[in-house]
Amino acid sequence: MGLRNFFDNIEPHFTKGGKYEKLFPVYEMVESLLYTPKTVTSVAPHARSFVDMKRIMTYVVLATIPCILWGMYNTGLQANGAIAALGDSAATGWRIAILQGLGISLDPTSMFANVLHGFLYFLPIYLTTLIVGGIFEVIFATVRGHEVNEGFLVTSMLYVLILPASTPLWQVGLGIAFGVVIGKEVFGGTGKNFLNPALTGRAFLYFAYPAYMSGDSIWTPVDGFSGATALGVSAAQGFQALAAEGITWMDAFFGTIQGSFGETSTLACLIGLCFLLITKIANWRLIVGCLGGMIGLSLLLNVIGSETNPMFAMPWYWHLVLGGYAFGLVFMVTEPVSASHTNVGRYIYGALIGVMVVLIRVINPAFPEGMMLAILFGNVFAPLIDYFVVQANIKRRARRHV
């Protein structure tokens, strides 16, 4: 009650005519983070719903928790495993010093040691994302006189989870700044952007600094250690070669393989998907469309085959668990702002992304991932898809009345 009274007492200083009127977005951001907004609809029409923007964003963040926890565990697992393979000479850096100072061994068989080690990679990246991205959010909100939208909490979390744990912090800050400003704010802010801001920032880093975003040495953040990703091995030698690398389908499904921070575990992504579907935050038509497009084209390419391109033979169930497909399917394809908004359009939009990710992975040997570009490609065409769906509905209804 005391904190509530404190906000009520200082509110006049931030409202219109107050001493700090221009800083109202900052006040509103902090207050709405702690309490339900007091603003209500004052003119017709009135739409009553228990779901508001804050609740939607909170649910999405909650859905990412399995990916966050597994990402910390797997990052620590890969790092501790690499140190064990390379020897004590690889056990350097401030993270190692903290772990050793706490008396924690770098044992890859210890879940606690793995989670804590992974946490020491996650925390700096997340704090950098929050601080840099938050500054730009507040600047644009203050200049426009708008509220600071809760959407940034989701953007910041998704952005961190699609980065390699070895990403330098200056690149983390540069990428989120690009994603927030160019991917969202220049179009008017949350709800008006047609590109996913987190993916926009990630794509900028990929093309601006490819050496830090791709290759064999970035996925396990230990100096001197390198190892190809499962998709990299498949593109070069075929998915059958994964067995020789010690990677099984179950390894890829559970996520004990190299990859971006929160993308490796399909199981963790599916747990988040169940939560989003139960709470009706995610639209199932987008999921069905994306799965249908990916499975359909994969089966077709399996039938066509290729003597020179081993990726033609990759089954759909391997596409599902490798790279960022599962994470993108759950958290990026279903993103309500940049996706199609008509029911038919959602099927088409999802199918377009599913087809594109397989095309990029299979046809373009220089880029074995594909989900990031496929979703951004879908974002660009989402308004056009909805336009044609709406026009088709108008023409069909017009014919009924002729």
Neighbour-count burial of 246, counting CB atoms closer than 10 A to its CB (0-12 exposed, 13-18 middle, 19+ buried): exposed
The pLDDT, as a whole number, for residue 142 is 79
Domain coverage including residue 195: 53-227
The verdict on residue 64 lying in a domain is yes
Residues 210, 106, single domain; the answer is yes
The pLDDT, as a whole number, for residue 21 is 60
Both tokens of 97, joined, read 């010093």
Cis peptide before 45 (omega within 30 of 0): yes
d(CA 153, CA 169): 19
Which of residues 178, 209, 227 is at a domain's end?
A: 227
Asked if 385 contacts 349 with a C-beta cutoff of 8 angstroms, the reply is yes
Question: Crossing angle, helix 197-208 and helix 371-400, to 10 degrees?
Answer: 140
Strand residues in 25-181 grouped as ranges (E) = none
Distance from the Cα of residue 90 to its chain's centroid: 30
Work out how many domains the chain is built from and give that number. Answer: 2
Residues 32, 109, single domain; the answer is no
pTM of the model: 0.87
The pLDDT, as a whole number, for residue 41 is 58
The verdict on residue 12 lying in a domain is yes
Asked if 122 contacts 160 with a C-beta cutoff of 8 angstroms, the reply is yes
Mean pLDDT by groups of 10 residues along the chain of 402 residues? 67 67 60 59 54 74 96 95 85 89 91 95 96 88 73 89 94 95 82 86 92 80 81 88 91 93 95 95 96 97 92 95 95 91 96 96 82 94 95 88 67
Residues 90, 197, single domain; the answer is yes
